[in-house]
Every structure is written in C-alpha cells, then in structure tokens.
A and B are shown apart, each in its own frame.
Chain A
Amino acid sequence: MDRVIFGDNQFFGVNHLSDEKSRAQAVRFKDDEAIIKVIDDAIDVGLNTFMCTTHDRIANICEHIRNNEEKYKDFKIYPCMPYAHKYANAVTELGILGTLKQYMPNNILGAISKGSVALVKTDFLAFMEMLVDTEMKMFKGINTPVIFLQNVLVDLILGLGMYDVFKAYHEYIAKKYNAEAGYITMNLPALLDALESVGVENPIICSSINKIGFRMSGGKDVYEECIKTRKFRPLAMQVLAAGALRPEEAFKYVCEQKNIESVLFGSSTKSHIKQNKELILEYTKD
C-alpha cells in the first residue's frame, strides 16, 4: 500500500464534528466535476490511491476514470463496502427481507422469488458474494488492489461472533478479484483476535489511530501495543480525530507508531492535501 492514501468523506457530507459543515460540503460537492477536480489535485500532489465508499456517486467518478484511461493509468481505488446509510434507511422502511429484495442483483436472480429466498437460507456465503459483486460492479476495469468491508459491518459481524464470514470474505476477494481483503473497524484489538482465530493472517486493517484516543475502543494503550507486537498491516484513519488535532501533532503521533503502513486522510483543498502529505513524509523520515 502507498504510504499516504486519499479518502472521500469530505465529498459526501461526512464530517464527524459538525452537521453544519457536512451540509456545506454536500453543497460544494453536489456536482461530480467538483469531486474530480479535487481527486486530480491529489494526483498532482502525488497521491495515487483513493479510498472510497461504494456511494452511488462514485459510479460516476469511475466512469470518468475509465474514459480517461491514460491520465489515470497509475491510479488505484480501495473500495469500502457497503455504503451503510443506503441500506440502513432501507431497512427502517422496508425491513430486512424488503431490503434484500430491493438490492438483490437483478441480473442474477430477477425479482426475489421462492428460489432465491431458499438460496439465501441455505447458503449465506453465496449471498454475501452476490452483494460484494453488486457493490463492485461500478469499479469494473479499475485497479482495486484492496477491497475493504466498512466498519459498521465488520464490527457487527465481530460483535455477533460470526467470524467465519470474515474468512469467507477474505477468500472470495482473493479468488474473484485477485485483490486483498481489508477490514475497517473501531475495535482493532478485538478484530485482530477474531481474524487470527479463523486463520486470516497478516490482515490489512484500517482503524482510528490518533493522539487523543478518539474512537479507539479498547483503549489507546492497547492499540499501541497491538501495532508494536501483532502481525497485521495497519492503515491509520481519523488521524486528525475528526479535526480536533492540529495536523503537525496528529501526523507526528501516527508516524511515531513505527509499524503503521499507511495513513489515510481526506481534504477538499489542494494546499491542505499537499501540506498533509508533506508532513506525513517528513515525520516518516524521522
């Protein structure tokens, strides 16, 4: 993985500190061109990996990338699936079965039928594979070397103790997409134990890692110990603790955790992207 990875929260009105800023961002990025412009800025600055959720609008960005093959030949995307709010709102309105009906891939099964319900009942993993394929459709023809499961799903599966699903996901991503599975979590120590217990070795795990311990469930000390002693490939997110930390202190802290492989951040302006990237590379040297 690249040392510095560019994120997408700023494009879709995700701001963990302020609903108001979220809405302002949603207005700024209402057109796809505005998103593409910032991605191009990031590429100019030297960032070639874009980590993004499988939001409907990412499909348009992918289309643009496919149409400009030469320009984006070194560009990689790390998809993070699923875009949870899409499903969460649907479950509130339609229930679980209704949501499955809505999102069941039509090309495979048509409208939900007795047969497809039976398939789901007997083979949940086949169903998981279908949902992965549905979410991955928009990335066809794009280089996606790591494919992440979003934290809300990872942590739900973790809490439910359904660890076999992690294993199956890992194998499917390798087999079908020739890519590595990644896991986003707010509970790094517990997830590491779970993955090890089903034989997933040296996993790529993206988790909150920041100086003030924000969203580091289990405790900052335990995280630091895990990073130091356990075998996995850490990708640090929420390094700026949703904006509570100044970039200098934030990146200094994360670079001091020597085994962290990559650092993720999102930003809307070229000068911030450049500044953050340079800070990370500078502290990496120390």
Chain B
Amino acid sequence: MIKAGVIGLGKMGLSHCGIIGGLPNVHLEAVCDTSKLVIKAFEKYTKVHCFKDYKKMIDAANLDCVIIAIPTKMHAEVVEYSLNKGLHVFCEKPFVLDVEDGVKLTDLAESKGLVSQVGFHNRYVGTFNKMRELLLDLVVGDVYHFHAKSNGPVIVKEKAGNWRAKSSEGGGCLFDYTSHVVNLVEYLISDIDSVNGVMLKKIFSKDVEDAVYSNLFLKNGVSGNLTVNWSDETYRKMSTEVMVLGKFGKIICDAQELKIYLKESSQKHNLKKGWNTLYITDTTDSVSFYLRGEEYSSQLDDFINSINNKNMNGRNNFRKSLSTDFAIKKIRDNG
C-alpha cells in the first residue's frame, strides 16, 4: 500500500484526497494546508494526520509520495524539498513558473530515480487518447493544420481575486487554461517549437490576461492556432476541443466525443468513408472510484502504478511537462 500525503487542500487538493480515498493500492496518510478551517474539518471527521507546515508533514509522516496542489509560485520549493526527501511527486499543473527551476527539478527527479507526474488530466481522457492513436496511425494522412481551443466561465466580471489574478504567482488564463491546451497539443501532435502572432487580452482582470490567442509551430513541422478564453460565460464549464486537418481527413475531438471525417474508409479502425462519431462511452474505460471524471481517477491510478512498477517514463512526467512550461514561456515572451 502506497502512503500518500496531499499538500494544499483547495479544489484540486480536496478532489485528489477524495479520489485517493476511493482508489485501491494507495492510502491517504497525511494532509497539509495553511487554512485552519479545512484542517479542522479533516481533524474532526477523518483519521488522516493533519499538518499546517509541509516540511513537518514530510519529515514526520512516513510517506511514499506527495501530491502537491498549491499555488504555482510555490511548486518549485515544495517539489524540491519532497524529492530531496526521496518522495515520488505528483504536482498540479502547470509544473513551475521558471523553466530553470523546471530543468533542475526534472534532473533531480531522474537522478534520484523517483516517479514524477504533473496533473495535466487531458492526457487521460478517452476521446483524446483515441484521437492520438488515430493520428499516430496516420488515419487522416499527414496533418497540415490544427486548431486547439479551450473556453470556460472562470472570470466573468470585474473583481479582485486571489493568486489566480496575479501573473507573478502563476495566475491568469495563460498559466491556467492555456497550459492544459498546450500540453494536449504536445501529446496529440508534437512539442511546440515556436510561436508568433500572440495576443494576450485582458477582459475583466486587471493584472492578468483572460484570453490567449497565438499561432503555434510544432517540432514536427505542423502549425496551427490556439484560442483560449476563460471569460466566456456561454460555456457551462471548461470545454477543450482540438481540430486536426490532414490530407485524407479531419478529426474534431473534445472530452465527450470524437468526430472523424475520412476520404476513404479505414478497416483497421472500423471507420467508414465520410463522418464517423465515437463517444466517451466507446473510448473510456471505467475506473474503480469515480469523482469528477474518469480522467482524474485514471491519472492518480497511473501515478500509483508507476511508483509500484518503478516506471519513470509516465505520460505526464516532469520531462514532458517541462516542454509545456517552455511553450508557455514562449507565448508569454511574445505577448
């Protein structure tokens, strides 16, 4: 049984705690947060060891791994401390604010033989994985263009916010929504090489961008557009979609459905000529405990399995997530 500690009990931290509680092979041993309110609730209603200082938690609790879900600005410090204490680390996205820290921490995790993962959950969504499989198999031929977009209703009016309203602490639509989409493009097609035509637009926020528009040029030569807006209240919740155009067809994919247009049928993939639609029910394996979506359970399950199997090459390890941090930096520098 892997013993886990969760650092940071905000929305993601609580969600991770809930999932760990429901998954086999892992036990929630300790939690840590600076909020007395949340810690009191854990003390009163659970048997989990509670801490207000993450260093004390790591030193005192006998942990195998930590899950870090605190403001991005603090990721580097806490990840470093955890790795130096020999713990496997799952860190919420984006990885770190300063890519130099990212390089150092990635090297540190690899040199110590520790499992690392960043919480880009789209890589565990069934439809996106099916899309990746089809693209790797060149079902639509050579890809010449893509459009990746993400929209949602996080900031829909002007008011003072928390750390997410400060770019210096990892706030803003670029670090939050955009990192997800960029990471997904890197998973589905190729890592990002360069960017241009960047527009960072403030809509309701004073200090950070609420929308990010850019052209992206990938290392495999494919180029496309990025459209991200977290101030669009026509969406009920975050909605991410990637459209890919190839010589022999087109794929449009979101977390629910995968639409595939083919010039010719594909027997291997059981797809007919013209439009095909695959749904989440066709592409998603069930999980042993469901909280907010299969992908949130699957990513933690994969992290725990990677620890048990000593698999350092997980699909969201620090090395892969660092590439996303570099891409975010390029967008920021060009904005």
Interface residue? A215 (CB, 8 A): yes
Q: Chain B residues near A281: list those with CB within 8 A.
A: none
Interface residue? A51 (CB, 8 A): no
Known: A17-B279, A215-B286. A91 touches B22 (CB 8 A): no
B 277-307 binary contact with A (CB < 8 Å = 1; else 0): 0011110001111111000000000000000
Check B290–A96 contact: CB distance below 8 A: no
Chain B residue nearest to A17 in the complex (CB)? B279
Q: Chain B residues near A94: list those with CB within 8 A.
A: 161-162
Interface residue? A24 (CB, 8 A): no
A60–B115 alpha-carbon span in the complex (Å):
51
Q: Which residues in chain B, 214-247, are within 8 Å of chain A measured between CB atoms?
A: 234, 236-237, 239, 241
Binds B, one of A129-137, A150-158, A251-259: A150-158
Interface residue? A29 (CB, 8 A): no
Binds B, one of A36-44, A141-149, A216-224: A216-224
Check A117–B21 contact: CB distance below 8 A: no
Chain B residue nearest to A212 in the complex (CB)? B281
Interface residue? A6 (CB, 8 A): no
Closest CB-CB distance, A224 to chain B, in whole Å? 15
Check B237–A158 contact: CB distance below 8 A: no
Interface residue? A93 (CB, 8 A): yes
Interface residue? B44 (CB, 8 A): yes
A157–B15 alpha-carbon span in the complex (Å):
10
Q: Chain A residues near B47: list those with CB within 8 A.
A: 161
A14–B256 alpha-carbon span in the complex (Å):
11
Interface residue? A241 (CB, 8 A): yes
Closest CB-CB distance, A225 to chain B, in whole Å? 16
Interface residue? B209 (CB, 8 A): no
Interface residue? A244 (CB, 8 A): yes
Check B45–A23 contact: CB distance below 8 A: no
Binding site of B, secondary structure by majority: helix, strand, loop or mixed?
A: mixed
Q: Chain A residues near B256: list those with CB within 8 A.
A: 15-19
Select the residue from B19, B154, B281, B292 with max chain A CB neighbours within 10 A: B281
Interface residue? A111 (CB, 8 A): no
Interface residue? B11 (CB, 8 A): yes
A 64-106 binary contact with B (CB < 8 Å = 1; else 0): 0000000000000000000001001101111111100000000
Check B22–A96 contact: CB distance below 8 A: no
Closest CB-CB distance, A247 to chain B, in whole Å? 15
B 142-182 binary contact with A (CB < 8 Å = 1; else 0): 00000000000111000001101000000000000000000
Known: A17-B279, A159-B21, A243-B279. A164 touches B290 (CB 8 A): no
Check A159–B19 contact: CB distance below 8 A: yes
Check B279–A159 contact: CB distance below 8 A: no
- The one of A12, A17, A218 that contacts B257, using a Cβ cutoff of 8 Å: A17
In the complex, how many residues of chain A place their beta carbon closer than 8 angstroms to a beta carbon of chain B? Answer: 53
Q: Chain B residues near A164: list those with CB within 8 A.
A: 45
Interface residue? B40 (CB, 8 A): yes
Interface size class of B (residues with CB under 8 A): 35 or more
Known: A19-B241, A19-B256, A242-B281. A159 touches B291 (CB 8 A): yes
Closest CB-CB distance, B292 to chain A, in whole Å? 6
Known: A159-B17, A159-B289, A160-B45. A19 touches B22 (CB 8 A): no
Interface residue? B269 (CB, 8 A): no
Interface residue? B270 (CB, 8 A): no
Q: Chain B residues near A98: list those with CB within 8 A.
A: 162
Interface residue? B10 (CB, 8 A): yes
Known: A96-B37, A96-B38. A160 touches B281 (CB 8 A): no
Q: Chain B residues near A186: list those with CB within 8 A.
A: 290-291
Closest CB-CB distance, B31 to chain A, in whole Å? 10
Q: Chain A residues near B255: list those with CB within 8 A.
A: 19
Interface residue? A22 (CB, 8 A): yes
Closest CB-CB distance, A51 to chain B, in whole Å? 19
A213–B153 alpha-carbon span in the complex (Å):
32
Q: Which residues in chain B, 4-45, are within 8 Å of chain A measured between CB atoms?
A: 9-11, 14-15, 17-22, 35-38, 40-42, 44-45
Check A187–B22 contact: CB distance below 8 A: yes
Closest CB-CB distance, A198 to chain B, in whole Å? 11
Closest CB-CB distance, A165 to chain B, in whole Å? 7
Check B291–A156 contact: CB distance below 8 A: yes
Interface residue? B92 (CB, 8 A): no
Closest CB-CB distance, A133 to chain B, in whole Å? 19
Closest CB-CB distance, A253 to chain B, in whole Å? 14
Q: Chain B residues near A160: list those with CB within 8 A.
A: 14, 17-18, 21, 42, 45-46
Check A120–B239 contact: CB distance below 8 A: no
A218–B290 alpha-carbon span in the complex (Å):
9
Chain A residue nearest to B45 in the complex (CB)? A162
Q: Chain B residues near A23: list those with CB within 8 A.
A: 234
Q: Chain A residues near B286: list those with CB within 8 A.
A: 213-217, 219
Q: Chain A residues near B254: list those with CB within 8 A.
A: 19
Chain A residue nearest to B9 in the complex (CB)? A96
Check B10–A95 contact: CB distance below 8 A: yes
Chain B residue nearest to A94 in the complex (CB)? B162
Interface residue? A7 (CB, 8 A): no
For this complex, 9 residue pairs linking A to B, each with C-beta atoms less than 8 Å apart, are: A26-B234, A93-B162, A94-B161, A124-B41, A152-B292, A157-B18, A160-B45, A215-B286, A244-B282
Give me the interface of A with B, judged by CB distance under 8 Å: 12-20, 22-23, 26, 85, 88-89, 91-98, 117, 120-121, 124, 152, 155-162, 164-165, 186-187, 190, 212-219, 241-244
Q: Give the 9 A-B CB pairs with smallest separation, nearest first.
A: A159-B18, A159-B21, A186-B290, A162-B45, A244-B281, A217-B290, A156-B18, A159-B22, A91-B11
